[in-house]
Amino acid sequence: ATVFLAQGFATYVAALGPLPESAIDQALHALFVSGRYLRNVGLAPDNVLRHVYPLAGNEKALGLRYESNPQQWPAVQRAMESRSTVMVGPIDLVQGGRALLSRTPVFLADHRYWGILSVAIDIDALLDASGLKRGPHDLTFALRESSDEVAQGALISGDAGVFQRNPILMELKVPGETWQLAAIPANGWHHRPAGDWVWDVLAYGMAAVLTLSLGAAVRERRLATQARDALEALNHQLSAANYELGRLSETDPLTGVPNRRGLDEVLALEWRRCRRHGEALTLMMIDIDQFKAYNDAYGHLQGDSCLRQVADTLQRTAQRAGEFVARVGGEEFVMVLPGMGGDGVVEQADRMRADIEALAIPNRGSTVASVVTISLGVATRTPESTLTLEALMEAADSALYRAKRLGRNRVEIASL
């Protein structure tokens, strides 16, 4: 879940450019409260840690230059080179304590590297929530980075001796890394001690020896099966949790509609489908007019309620197969309309504008109307080799800004 949040932030910056200084702390706060088991989140433009949330207790981390820190620089380099999130640790933090560190590289739309988003995860809280540190079970667990033929991986949790006692092993994939989970019965594997009684047993005949050996083998097998079943059950729970986290990572928690991550996946899919079938694809960029003035006049709680009402109303218009509404910013929404073009697009856009106005949500902070309104920028094109998805998005965005310049509460159509 933490990785999805960080990747969403990186996608936002890639699409809209670097955040202004005044908005960075607010963005990091949003990431922090949306995540779980976090110690802090930090942003390092040009690989210098300039922003940390929460600041209290993390002041020593400010100004850290990753290139000058031999413990942290290799992971940052790997993230930059792979252009993907890399998780390392637990490591000792500059400001004190130990944590897992998730490094997500942030690139701009022109593919220039901008900086690193760093998320510190409380390893003890994470392991406790996973069930590895609490019962009921009769197993002893240990967790380490995956080992190779040269050296064993660093221990993350538990007793390293577990790996030397014939454990059941499971590989766990994390961003940029593989972990190895080991389990043995809490009381250890049961081996029959050698002694003089063995010779007494032999005296009673080979049949008795075989019976005892078979019994020991059955017990060993049963213990191994119990350990494996317990690990498989835990893995099923983790898989179910991962599926739910993946779904939540694509949903805006405030409005319940998909977020930017969900939009990117659907938009890329519909673009390819429309291109394959020669169908038109329409993109609507939607902005609530003067929403900052609304928040200033009525407060953020009323602002949240307004966003939910607008999202519900927009979503009700997405009735055809493939139509899709997503929230991509504070007061910004996007609607995807595959297979639609011409007058039908204009009619639907104006109907959406009228539906929002008809909600009659009072807005005394607006200079456009006495109620909440929206502006829409619309771009339609059949995908082809000379037109990119990014160009379609830019055209819709430009049309939206034209609608705002011309007085808001209106629909503007892009020329492509």
CA distance 313 to 317: 7
Q: Identify the H or E element spanning 186.
A: none
Please say whether the dihedral angle defined by the alpha carbons of residues 332, 246, 275 and 389, taken in this order, is positive or negative: positive
User: Is 171 part of the annotated catalytic residue set?
Assistant: no
CA distance 127 to 172: 13
> Among the options 331, 332, 347, 357, which is catalytic?
331
What residue spans of 318-416 are helical by DSSP H?
343-358, 389-405
Here the tokens at position 98 are: 């130990």
Q: From the CB of residue 264, how many other CB atoms can be counted at a distance below 10 Å? A: 18
Q: In what order do the strands lie in the sheet with 281-288?
A: 324-327, 332-338, 281-288, 374-381, 411-413
The amino acid that residue 249 corresponds to is S
Q: With H, G, I as helix, E, B as strand and everything else as coil, classify residue 246.
A: helix
CA distance 409 to 404: 8
Q: With H, G, I as helix, E, B as strand and everything else as coil, classify residue 69.
A: coil
CA distance 47 to 49: 6
Contact criterion met (CB below 8 Å) for 51 and 119 = no
Q: Which sequence positions are flagged as catalytic?
A: 331
